[in-house]
Structure 1
């Protein structure tokens, strides 16, 4: 959808300009658009008759540059994808959710520390976005670009609150299981620690297990 929309917006346009525009939006971080796949995507969309090649030019020894326009079929496909994403809520795959589903496999101290470490990384990401919003270049972008980043900030802020709350519950000894069931990890979980040792890791031992936050947004 991103490539179709940009070609329609910028046409006639070279693949290089589509790639540069997407990177200026940091679309590789939030739209699952990888820079190396853009040229392949343009060719594939052309093969599917959603785009058409209108010219190919070469300057000196540089690689040939193809100019694209969107077709009527491509416009219809873009509008279908656009409205589908506007009017529906889709949960993107999140590796953390898969890991969290095995919460009892971690010692409580490590799980709580990992959640707080996640909150630190999210807070660093918020600072990066806030700095970008205040940068001069943002003044030359449409205002809705800032609105998109504000949404990312709000989502991260909500997750930080969740991380802190759940870390507190884990540290308090809140049961992971329904009432009446033993709150013990399954055999072999928690790196082979015995049930009695799971909650006895010292904070220093947990620190040795965790990566140091570097102030980057987790991918």
Structure 2
């Protein structure tokens, strides 16, 4: 999965209709160029590629102000399905890259509350398993004939899993308590799906 793909689909979906410069400007306000390495070229490439894949459609061409014309895009039904698939993977799979998780969190409120909690609970189950596996590996390192220092790798994995567990449990609790305006709540977050 690509964080850029999720971010571009999400911003176009959020605006309902957006051109590349608008997508770029929005993502810059989120500092996505730093945490997801989203560059102008990757945004325009994603727009063209996803248009060719029928995930986006061109809806308008506006004259550029002293520059090239601006093509506006809108998300298609297929694009909305892809957006939700990528969002679900980013939130539910602990193995997703950090940029993908960050992109998923950026669009968390595009989901109904129960769906978001369900995805995070799936993440929780996997993280609990990873933490338990790492703990068992720490205990059994000597029995495997591994060098003692290899246990540090297992300690790192265990610490990462514990940190992920703590964050995920806290986010689930905040969502269950009603924090954040979610899709399906009174007033929609991040735009309506395409008609």
TM range, smaller chain: 0.3 to 0.5
Q: TM-score normalised to the size of structure 1?
A: 0.41
Instruction: Give me the TM-score of the superposition, normalised by structure 2.
Output: 0.46
